[in-house]
């Protein structure tokens, strides 16, 4: 199944199967993390320490205090896979 793979750091978006995403070297579920649970979603060029997951899990920031752009990412993750399905 093809899904939108959106890098949360640079915004790069590609339509890939999970296997294709893994082969590109990006970090996306199910190879890294689980759909619907906050974990890093990044392309091969971006760094894990800029992800929302890092801010919450490593820096212990309160999600409610994060910028709106980060909260949009959290909402998208929590609503996977519906939020990353391809619109026909
Ligand atoms: Zn990126």
Distance 26 CA to ligand 1 centre (A): 8
Distance 25 CA to ligand 1 centre (A): 11
The 10s digit of each residue's pLDDT in 25-45 is 999 999 999 999 999 999 999
Distance 87 CA to ligand 1 centre (A): 22
Give the domain ranges of the chain: 3-84
CB 9 within 8 A of CB 47: yes
pLDDT at 1: 87
Q: What's the DSSP call for residue 24? A: H
Mean pLDDT, the chain, whole residue set:
96
Distance 18 CA to ligand 1 centre (A): 16
Cα–Cα distance measured from residue 74 to residue 38, given in angstroms and rounded to the nearest whole number: 7
């Amino acid at each position: 199944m093809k899904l939108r793979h959106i890098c949360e750091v640079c915004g790069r978006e590609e339509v890939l199967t999970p296997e294709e995403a893994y082969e590109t070297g990006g970090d996306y579920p199910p190879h890294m993390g689980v759909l619907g649970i906050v974990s890093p979603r990044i392309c091969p060029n971006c760094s894990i320490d800029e992800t929302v997951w890092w801010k919450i899990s490593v820096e212990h920031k309160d999600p409610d205090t994060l910028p709106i752009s980060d909260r949009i990412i959290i909402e998208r993750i929590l609503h996977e896979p519906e939020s990353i399905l391809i619109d026909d």
